[in-house]
Amino acid sequence: MTDSREVAWRRQRVVPWCMAVALALAGLCYSSWVLEFVLPVHADPVNSFLSELDAEGKPYRWVFATGDKVTAALLIPTALAGLWIFPRRRLTTIGWVALLCFGAATIADVLLPLSDCGSPGAPPCGDHSALFPQLHQPHAMTSTLAVTSIAVAVFAFSLAAFRYRPHWRVLRELGLAFLLIGALATVWMLVADNLSGDYALGIAQRIQVGAMSLWLGTLGIAVLREARDAMLSR
């Protein structure tokens, strides 16, 4: 096998499989918050935010921080590989770049955790008398960038699935369901932010993040199918 053929073989067969595994693992690691139901973190999942799980000084912070770090470490090279092996189309290019930004913002999330959670003069972690109390911290910016980036990636790939038919069919079917679930949870949070009282914002955020994690796994399946279809069409 010549060098050029070997490179082509790796690009068409090995790289997509590595990407799919990385995306599945990233989705799993980004779901590390489910360990709050096993570990004694003493968090209220109905009203607490996920950022509070890895706030400075919180028990088992390293568990949730490690999950985010691994997620970012997997997604950054995966996004670059996606730009390398798949045809450059506007919407998918936007999607891969947004996924890359999501990975970078997730690392920033870990490096800039909530710092005054429960400190004197600041609202304790479980106190949500002020809506989104953590938004006065630098962590708010990194979290906003992360959520915005993955939202752009999901929308871009979803639009690509409809515009570039028959490509990315999985994202046109199963991926669209996770998009709608995540969008509804986001609307829930945005509307509740402008209302007085408690509206289970913690549940809304967990649904939102859960939908993101499942979508990453779906993207992994889509990558494998795209690579297979590309080889069959040759």
pLDDT digits (tens, 9 = 90+) for 82-137: 998 888 899 999 999 999 999 999 999 888 887 755 544 444 454 444 444 445 56
Distance CA(30)–CA(60), nearest Å, equals 16
CB 225 within 8 A of CB 205: no
pLDDT in tens, 16-63: 999 999 999 999 999 999 999 999 888 888 888 888 888 888 888 899
From 211, 218, 219, select the one nearest 31 (Cα to Cα). 211
Task: Quote the distance between the C-alpha of residue 5 and its chain's center.
Answer: 35
For residues 82 and 96, is the Cβ–Cβ distance under 8 A?
yes
- pTM (2 d.p.): 0.84
